Structure 1
Amino acid sequence: MGSLNKTILIGKVLDTPDMRFSVNGAGIIKFNLEVKRPPRVSGEESPPDKIPIVAFSKQAEMLAEKVKQDDIVMIEGRVQVRTYNKQDGQTQWSTEVVALSSIVLNEDNIKNFNVMSNLPLGTDNIQEDQAKKEENYDDIPF
């Protein structure tokens, strides 16, 4: 049985991204992304989630150059759960999203996203169905 580990998040960068380098020189960047939850009850706002983001190598370098605190970004990546031992010997679990691609959203991108997200579900299917109805197979020479 196959599996899929993919997530797409759009949110606000909560803190200044922390760029570091591994012993072999690969870039590692970490920051937290505030992502709003859909409301549980109509008219009631749910608290946002604070999601740790990490990126490596070229993606980390690109994020370090382009992303700053309070930017709105779209992150595409995978969920990673890892364990590590704290200095006191206790095992600590960490869940984070490993960014594989990202887009810093400016005002134009956000407007386009809002327009697209307000379209009713299945709009493109309606257009495809209409195009199929308009096809005329009598003109085909075979």
Structure 2
Amino acid sequence: MAGVNKVIVLGHLGRDPEMRYQPSGAAIANFSIATSENFKDREGNKQERTEWHRIVLFGRTAEIAGEYLRKGSMAYVEGRLQTRKWTDKEGQERYTTEIIGDRLQLVGPRGGGGSAASFDEEDHGGGHSTGASSAPASSGRKQDTPPPPMEDFDDDIPF
């Protein structure tokens, strides 16, 4: 029976993505995402624990990350864990565990808007976008202002 290697991370970027390019021209994006959890210790004091996750994206998904993600941005990444061995400057063998992302979803407002966009590695840039309204849910009564027409929707996410 085969195993499952699936990771889902939702958090904030610690810095802007670092972009590199393979000789073929394919993009590689590296960045870290912080996830935090709040809990109470044995004495009842509130504590916060932050975990940092190294993310690597390839191809069009990496290009999207480099263009739209910045330090502090919230992002959702799906992928798999991979550990690689490398040698440091002193000749010591080191190991790094990373999340090789195959899906990226931009989360949260962009320029005050309430939209999110999702990009899959298989899409090759043809991801889909889902709009999220920032208006509160209706309580059964008609809202005073109608939503803007779709042709006035201004979004420069490339898909």
Normalization by structure 2: what TM-score? 0.63
Partner of 1:23: 23
DSSP-derived class of the 1:28 partner: strand
C-alpha change, 1:88 and 1:10, in structure 2 (3 Å) is: same
- The runs of 5 or more residues in structure 2 that have no matched partner are 117-131, 133-159
- 2: distance between equivalents of 1:99 and 1:21? 16
**Residue in structure 2 matching 1:81, options 72, 77, 83:** 83
C-alpha change, 1:50 and 1:88, in structure 2 (3 Å) is: same
- The runs of 5 or more residues in structure 1 that have no matched partner are 113-142
DSSP-derived class of the 1:36 partner: strand
**Post-superposition shift, 1:40?**
6.5
DSSP-derived class of the 1:97 partner: strand
**Post-superposition shift, 1:43?**
6.1
- 2: distance between equivalents of 1:78 and 1:40? 31
- 2: distance between equivalents of 1:74 and 1:90? 34
- 2: distance between equivalents of 1:62 and 1:17? 10
Superposed CA offset, 1:62-93 (max 9, x none):
11122111111111111111101123221110
Partner of 1:93: 95
Identity of aligned residues (%): 24
C-alpha change, 1:5 and 1:40, in structure 2 (3 Å) is: farther
Partner of 2:12: 12
- 2: distance between equivalents of 1:34 and 1:109? 21
C-alpha change, 1:43 and 1:75, in structure 2 (3 Å) is: farther
Amino acid paired to 1:32: S
Partner of 1:36: 36
Residue 38 of structure 2 contacts residue 49 of structure 2 at CA under 8 Å; is this kept in 1?
A: no
Question: Greater RCO between the two (CA within 8 Å, min separation 6)?
Answer: 1
- 1: distance between equivalents of 2:115 and 2:18? 25
DSSP-derived class of the 2:37 partner: coil
Amino acid paired to 2:61: Q
More strand per residue: 2
Normalization by structure 1: what TM-score? 0.69
More helix per residue: 1
DSSP-derived class of the 1:47 partner: strand
Query: Number of matched residues?
Result: 111
- 1: distance between equivalents of 2:4 and 2:81? 10
Instruction: Select the structure of larger CA radius of gyration.
Output: 1
- 1: distance between equivalents of 2:67 and 2:21? 15
